[in-house]
């Protein structure tokens, strides 16, 4: 195992408080059996392929969420940040995902025409609804379990004695989300939440934000469950 990766959360910051407040749901998500199966290589490959197809559809809606973030922003810096994130998904991450899936024998046409699983519908539409009904802080709280959670999952797997990287078909996925470049993206999301909390009354709204974060964590766990059970 590598040296232990540090926690991305800022002590006392909004993300740290949300994660602590939703600890049971958060741990169910980041320590899910799907995740453990990737770590030790025991996850059936059919489950992972099903997840990859749904993740492609998931990314399309996350690009829409960042377009919504640009609309909800009230200053140019936040608008540019949202546009940059949307562009990164559409112009870089989607291409990398298609290339990665090709290595698993999954073509882009197959992913484009696949029906959305209920778990995909549930989380992506929840994120968009939170953004439409609320403000920029509500939207980013709903996004955080995905953006930050994947980095935490990969860090945990990299340091878990049960994880096997040599000969593990999921090793590249683990390394990708443990990579410093992705961890920088996750850390930026933590810092954004902490900043928005200060400018948008996050402390006074904590109870409502916690409900959003906890629901999003449960929906992320449901996304893993969908993959594990090949659910539709």
Name the catalytic one among 47, 101, 146, 214: 146
Q: Tell me how far apart the alpha carbons of residues 152 and 227 are, in angstroms, rounded to a whole number.
A: 19
Tokens representing residue 74 in the block: 């009230």
Active site residue 129: no
Rg of the Cα atoms in the chain: 17
Active site residue 220: yes
Q: CB-hemisphere CA count at 13 Å for 41?
A: 10
Torsion angle, alpha carbons of 179, 140, 70, 75, to 10: -100
Helix/strand/coil (H, E, C) string of the chain?
Answer: CCCCCCCCCCCCCHHHHHHHHCHHHHHHHHCCHHHHHHHHCCCCHHHHHHHHHHHHHHHHHHHHHHHHHHHHCCCHHHHHHHHHHHHHHHHHHHHHHHHHHHCCCCCHHHHHHCCCCHHHHHHHHHHHHHHHHCCHHHHHHHHHHHHHHHHHHHHHHHHCCCCCCCCCCCHHHHHHHHCHHHHHHHHHHHHHHHHHHHHCCCCCCHHHHHHHHHHHHHHHHHHHHHHHHCCC
Name the catalytic one among 47, 152, 214, 220: 220
Tokens representing residue 211 in the block: 């409900």
Residues identified as active-site: 146, 220
């Amino acid at each position: 195992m590598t040296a232990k990766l540090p926690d991305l959360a800022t002590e006392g910051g909004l993300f740290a408080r949300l994660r602590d407040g939703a600890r049971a749901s958060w741990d169910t998500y980041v320590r899910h059996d799907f995740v453990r199966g990737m770590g030790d290589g025991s996850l059936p490959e059919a489950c992972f392929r099903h997840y990859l197809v749904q993740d492609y559809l998931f990314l399309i809606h996350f690009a829409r969420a960042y377009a919504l973030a640009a609309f909800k922003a009230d200053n140019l810096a936040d608008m540019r940040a949202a546009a940059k994130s949307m562009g990164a998904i559409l112009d870089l991450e989607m291409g990398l995902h298609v290339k990665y899936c090709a290595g698993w024998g999954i073509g882009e046409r197959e992913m484009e025409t696949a029906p959305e699983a209920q778990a995909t519908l549930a989380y992506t539409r929840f994120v968009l609804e939170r953004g439409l009904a609320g403000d920029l802080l509500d939207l980013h709280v709903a996004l955080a379990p995905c953006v930050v959670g994947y980095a935490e999952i990969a860090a945990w797997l990299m340091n878990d004695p049960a994880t096997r990287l040599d000969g593990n078909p999921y090793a590249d996925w683990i390394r990708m989300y443990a990579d410093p470049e992705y961890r920088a993206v996750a850390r930026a999301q933590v810092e954004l939440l902490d900043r928005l909390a200060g400018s948008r009354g996050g402390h006074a709204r904590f109870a409502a934000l916690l409900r959003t974060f906890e629901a999003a964590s449960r929906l992320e766990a449901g996304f893993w469950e969908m993959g594990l059970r090949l659910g539709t």
